[in-house]
Amino acid sequence: MIELSHINFRYKKKKQLFENLSLTLQPGFIYGLLGKNGAGKSSLLKLVSGLLYPNSGQCTVFGHHAAARKPAMLQDIYMIPEEFELPPVSLATFVKINSVFYTRFSQNQLNAYLAEFELSDDAKLSTLSYGQKKKFLIAFGLATNARVLILDEPTNGLDIPSKSQFRKIMAASLDEDKIIIISTHQVRDLENLIDNIVVLEQGNIIFNYSIAHISERLAFEYNLAGVPDEEILYTEELQGRKAGIVKNIAGVDSRVDMELLFNGIVKNAPAINEAFANLKYEY
Amino acid sequence: MEFKDNQAIYLQIANRFFENILKKEWQAGDKIPSIRDMAVEFEVNPNTTMRTFNYLQDKGIIYNKRGIGYFLADDGLEKTIALKKEQFVEEDLPVFLKTMKLLGLSLEDLKAYAAKYEGPSIN
């Protein structure tokens, strides 16, 4: 479990980013961390991985203080940032040097992922394209078997077949011990993988629900003609029609349109959150 | 698989299961692919396919042998037919009948079209 409690954080001389932020992430789920540019997503991920220290409050990862950066915690966390630099060595050399830090690293798993992504381990990292480098880091990160996996914009730079392979690999690798956090703007690529949506806005968590709850409480319509006003929570123009989010009155679980949901939350979070009043948590 | 309509993904996957059962690709007592295999195939979160399996288990269409996997129930086909019939009558038919009314088609007219229908026999 990852627990952030009462986090206060500011970058030097800038205004406060996180004020009394608390968030709990449970194993067995893929969390989608969404938010506009500058909302605080990367800073939050850095607090979790011990790359930034909170001014007050604390962040624990499976009981370890993130800021202490003890080896026991660091071998259980792998972060794939959006921008990275890799040394000019072969894939095999990189693996040889870095895998020793992860006690549960599996060479067999890595070979399988590399085969899936069509990467050969004698290639030099410096000769790979951005997308290939990214696929290599995803493969290595998964093969570390770290229980916390943080992916910042993982589908950026991936071609269409690679996105599909990525989804398959993620579906295969989630288990009940793992916490996977994906920060992304490319929600269409990942909407069927994510099972909890956390939305950040100016350092505040303005939405945090599971897909199961969302599909029970909300419905996503692509033609709002004839829907009574009091059921409509959010509307936008979509190719000449009005699309939007409505209360799920029919009681049939809806398909969650993450892009529409995100737009609705950013526009009017209180109205969307209203639909979740009296929600009983089952887990 | 492309997910399109407004139905939750786990229900759309359930519909694919129903197709396999109705087409007899899965027979009574057959072991069906695991929750994880299905998640990989459909490129969705395993928690989503778990909901599909729970839903089908609640309906008595599949059952779980602990540690071995999921199997199609002996009366899985009958239960699937009953469930799909109910869905057809309650959801598809009203839309169909409404369209018929709008177009001024009678049940008699339909018989003529049904006679010309070239697909598998509907009698």
Lowest mean pLDDT among A10-19, A193-202, B37-46, B61-70: A10-19
Chain A residues near residue B14 by CB distance under 8 angstroms = none
Q: What is the 3-class SS of A2-34, one letter each residue?
A: EEEEEEEECCCCCCCCEEEEEEEECCCEEEEEE
At B120, the pLDDT band (50, 70, 90 cuts) reads: low
Interface check for A241 against chain B (CB to CB < 8 A): the answer is no
- Evaluate whether residue B53 is within a structural domain: yes
- Evaluate whether residue B123 is within a structural domain: no
pLDDT in tens, A59-105: 999 999 999 999 999 999 999 998 899 999 999 999 999 999 999 99
pLDDT at B122 over 80: no
- Evaluate whether residue B103 is within a structural domain: yes
Q: Which of B6, B36, B40 sits opposite A255 (nearest CB)?
A: B6
How confident is the model at residue A283, as a pLDDT?
A: 43
Chain B nearest C-alpha distance from A172 (Å): 6
How confident is the model at residue A282, as a pLDDT?
A: 47
| Residue A161 structural domain | 2-202
| Residue B22 structural domain | 1-118
**What does the DSSP 8-state code read for residue A39?**
S
How confident is the model at residue A251, as a pLDDT?
A: 78
pLDDT at B35 over 80: yes
Chain B nearest C-alpha distance from A219 (Å): 8
How confident is the model at residue A174, as a pLDDT?
A: 92
| Number of structural domains chain B divides into | 1
Interface check for A215 against chain B (CB to CB < 8 A): the answer is yes
Alpha carbon of B61 to those of A25, A252, B46, B66, B76: distances in Å? 34, 20, 20, 16, 4
Same domain, A22 and A147: yes
Contact A253 B10 (CB under 8 A): yes
Same domain, A139 and A169: yes
Same domain, A44 and A127: yes
Dihedral (Cα; B96, B97, B102, B108), 10-degree rounding: 110
- Evaluate whether residue A121 is within a structural domain: yes
Residue B29 or A281, more confident: B29
Last residue of a domain, one of A149, A177, A202: A202
pLDDT in tens, A124-154: 999 999 999 999 999 999 999 999 999 999 9
- Evaluate whether residue A185 is within a structural domain: yes
How confident is the model at residue A226, as a pLDDT?
A: 81
Is this complex scored with an ipTM above 0.90? no
- Evaluate whether residue B27 is within a structural domain: yes
Contact B3 A255 (CB under 8 A): yes
Same domain, A195 and A217: no
Contact B45 A172 (CB under 8 A): no
Same domain, A198 and A232: no
Same domain, A217 and A184: no
Q: Give the strands of the sheet with B62-65, arranged side by side.
A: B31-32, B69-72, B62-65
Provide the 10 A C-beta neighbour count for residue A49: 21
- Evaluate whether residue A48 is within a structural domain: yes
Q: Which of B3, B8, B45 sits opposite A171 (nearest CB)?
A: B45
- Evaluate whether residue B74 is within a structural domain: yes
Chain A nearest C-alpha distance from B122 (Å): 30
- Evaluate whether residue B96 is within a structural domain: yes
Same domain, A34 and A160: yes
pLDDT in tens, B6-25: 788 999 999 999 999 999 99
Low-confidence stretches of chain A (pLDDT beneath 50): 282-283
Residues 6+ positions from B80 with CB-CB distance below 8 Å:
B18, B21, B22, B61
For residue B45, what is the nearest residue in chain A, using CA coordinates? A193
- Evaluate whether residue A281 is within a structural domain: no
pLDDT at B3 over 80: no
- Here the CATH number for the domain that contains residue A186 is 3.40.50.300
Q: Which of B6, B36, B43 sits opposite A192 (nearest CB)?
A: B43
Long-range residue pairs from B35-42, CB within 8 A, at least 24 positions apart, any chain: B35/B70, B36/A171, B36/A172, B38/B13, B39/A171, B39/A172, B40/A168, B40/A171, B40/A172, B42/A171, B42/A192, B42/B1, B42/B9, B42/B13, B42/B16
- Here the CATH number for the domain that contains residue B38 is 1.10.10.10
Chain A nearest C-alpha distance from B109 (Å): 31
How confident is the model at residue B119, as a pLDDT?
A: 64
Please state the rounded mean pLDDT for residues B98-117: 88
- Evaluate whether residue A283 is within a structural domain: no
Same domain, A217 and A181: no
- Evaluate whether residue A279 is within a structural domain: no
Chain B residues near residue A254 by CB distance under 8 angstroms = 6-8
Contact B8 A195 (CB under 8 A): no
